[in-house]
A and B are shown apart, each in its own frame.
Chain A
Amino acid sequence: MTRLIAARLGQSLVVVLVMSFVIYGLIGLMPGDPIDLMISADPNVTAADAARLKALYGLDRPIWARYLAWLTAAADGDLGYSRLFSRPVLEVLGPRLANTALLMSLALGLALLIAVPAGVAAARRPGSLLDRSINLVCFAGVSVPPFWFALLLLLLFAVVLGWLPAGGVETIGDGGMLDRARHLILPVITLSVASVAAYTRHVRGALIEVLREDYVRTARAKGLAERPVVWRHGLRNALIPVVTVLALDFGALFSGALITETMFSYQGMGKTIYDAIMGNDYNLALVGLLLATALTLAANFAADLAYGWLDPRIRYRGGVER
């Protein structure tokens, strides 16, 4: 088991390294370059000056050399300065990471709170009117463009009813708990819609399968009431695959967070990465993207571990297979 974990950790590390090179290369291909940005305000700079500046900052070297230089500095903990915020990249990203973590965990919690009961209700009577209605809602949930859903929420709650703020993390000059919570409501709903739909279908599918198992029939045969059969014997086992789906979904959830945060001007990782790419803030974009990738890989890794831990049958068969 330990060897397996070590191997997977090694794999993930390699993927992060490869991704760091890919992203580094791609960011170099974005329009403009740092020197252009530096000198754009100064009409007296000649082409020769620009070339000298380029050489001074090492931008005339081949890409792998620049990448290695970046990597060496990064290994020392120097991830560079953000152009947009004029502060070290990590100082910018830290609080935003916390904002996103709050948003994502609330959205995940809400999604589970809705999806588990809905999935159970659907699975208890497959094909019933209730099941079909839930199915319909799920289809709608995965088909709705998230940014449009956010627009509709804004239209209803911020424009027509005027109950909730249209964006931001907090009202300037307020910033109390209640105020922050009010700013979170619409983003959390937006972000959880697709997850609710996906998890409901997973819970339903897994539970239908589990309810066909022998031990469920045994539980029923010994006269156990339907409720404990479904919730204790059924759901407990049905949730195992759902837990892994949840962790594997991290990447999708993060992508969703980018849209949600941008729509509601919520200062999180997703919006920061988007702003950094749009604003030619190379360092910030690079580190933000890498951090997002690393977190996603970590979540996948956790999913693999959780699967083996929750379902001993897999562990004993040897190897964590997906």
Chain B
Amino acid sequence: MSVLTHPRASTPRRLAWRRFQSHRLALVSAVVLALLVVLALAAPLIALALGVAVDDVDLFLRLGPPSGAHPLGTDVLGRDLLLRLLHGGRVSLAVGVSSAMVAAVIGTIVGIVAGFFGGRLDAVLMRFADGVISLPLLPLLIVLAAVDPGKIGIPESIASSEAFSLYRIIGIISLVGWTTVARLARAATMALRERDFIQVAVAQGFGPARIMVRHILPNAASPILVATTLTVGNVILFESVLSFLGLGIQPPVASWGNMLTGAQELIWQAPMQAVWPGMLIFVTVICFNFLGDGLQDALDPRSGTGTIPR
């Protein structure tokens, strides 16, 4: 068993890649997600090819059947369903990924600080995280989403812009999404803190900030990446629920959640209006969950069965 016989075969990165490949569902999920992103980005090109724009209203063709110009038919205002779905995908994916990123930054900072300093600070931070997890989040998110921006001093011109409703939902969801990342970052930090190279860095007199950023963060990157991936799926679910209830992304901007808002009343006449957006949410979320599971197997093989967050 000489290491030299396969000099290139056993770098950690290669091993991780091989483990990831053996998780076939994760591999398929990565491909599906890439495809969805490409399609969403290509929406304007597809619009060009079809000869219709997303916002083209055609009241003579309400809930139209699939046709050459409208591959999936039209919605209740006669807009092209396929294009709305792709544009909705842009919004849902953008909100999902950016909220998860913001949440990951918050979670990483909280987790590493709690794990590194330990003691009372750790107890307080983790109690707080536990508290956030255990609250009935959805009703509270609904209140947050219902807050009138004018009453906290945000001028009407900004508050009614499309970008604001996007940032607002990202902010609201990040507030509750950071706990998974924080817990995993804390666990990784606590394990790392006892390792020799950290002890050496402490003995050399480096400040805690430098040790946390330069030595702990890079070594805790794997669990953070895994948790962030799993968070994306959850965040997309939250966004879709809030938008569905009319509190997230506001029409006429499409998101998969708000496309379902009117679908319940139409379910007798036009069931496909309800099927497509939900299907895309479902596929996207399950792909992110599989991807997270695969990354966990690849980067952190000892952690065992893996968990999917609620």
Contact = CB atoms under 8 A, between A and B. Distances in A.
B60 interface: no
A307 to B, nearest CB: 14
Contacts of B143: 23, 26-27, 30, 277, 285, 289
Given A144-B282, A145-B237, A204-B305, A15 B131 contact: yes
B233 A143 contact: yes
Interface in B185-239: 233, 237
Interface in A106-156: 136, 138-140, 142-148, 151-152, 154-155
Contacts of A262: 245
Contact of A148 (B25, B233, B281, B308): B281
Interface string B299-310: 000001101111
Interface in A218-267: 248-252, 254-256, 258-259, 262-263
A31 interface: yes
Contacts of B152: 29
A202 to B, nearest CB: 9
B110 to A, nearest CB: 17
Given A145-B282, A152-B278, A259-B241, A29 B142 contact: no
Interface stretch (A51-59, A75-83, A168-176, A290-298): A290-298
Interface residues on B, range: 35 or more
Given A251-B136, A255-B139, A148 B264 contact: no
B139 A145 contact: no
A contact face: mostly helix, strand, loop, or mixed: helix
A142 B289 contact: yes
A277 B245 CA distance: 12
A103 interface: no
Contacts of A191: none
B178 interface: no
Interface string B122-136: 000000001101111
B134 A151 contact: no
A67 interface: no
Contacts of B20: none
A143 B267 contact: no
A208 B305 CA distance: 10
A183 interface: no
Contact of A143 (B131, B139, B274, B289): B289
A154 B267 contact: yes
Nearest to A31: B148
B48 interface: no
Nearest to B143: A26
Contacts of B148: 29-32
A32 B140 CA distance: 19
A300 B146 contact: no
Contact of B274 (A155, A248, A252): A155
A4 interface: no
Tell me what chain B mostly uses at the interface: helix, strand, loop, or mixed. Answer: helix
B140 A289 contact: yes
Contact of A145 (B140, B264, B285): B285
A136 B23 CA distance: 13
A303 to B, nearest CB: 9
Nearest to A167: B264
A30 B136 contact: no
A151 B264 contact: yes
Interface string B98-132: 00000000000000000000000000000000110
Contacts of A27: 143
Contacts of B260: 147-148, 151
B146 A146 contact: no
Contact of B138 (A136, A145, A148, A258): A258
B146 A31 contact: yes
B310 A145 contact: no
Interface string A16-39: 000100010011111110000000
B286 A270 contact: no
Nearest to B288: A143
B131 A151 contact: no
Nearest to B144: A26
Interface string A68-98: 0000000000000000000000000000000
Nearest to A132: B25
A300 B282 CA distance: 30
B308 A138 contact: yes
Contact of B142 (A145, A198, A252, A274): A274
Contacts of B267: 151, 154-155, 159
A139 B133 contact: no
B241 A30 contact: no
Interface in B256-285: 257, 260, 263-264, 267-268, 271, 274-275, 277-278, 281-282, 285
Interface of A: 15, 19, 23, 26-32, 136, 138-140, 142-148, 151-152, 154-155, 159, 194, 197-198, 201, 204-205, 208, 248-252, 254-256, 258-259, 262-263, 270, 273-274, 277-278, 285, 288-289, 292-293, 296-297, 299-300, 322
Given A145-B240, A251-B136, 4 more contacts: A139-B308, A145-B281, A159-B271, A194-B310
- The 8 residue pairs across chains A and B that have the minimum distance between CB atoms: A148-B278, A255-B138, A143-B286, A31-B148, A143-B285, A254-B136, A29-B147, A292-B136
15 contacts: A30-B148, A31-B150, A139-B289, A142-B308, A144-B282, A148-B240, A151-B263, A151-B264, A152-B278, A154-B264, A201-B307, A204-B305, A255-B136, A255-B137, A278-B146
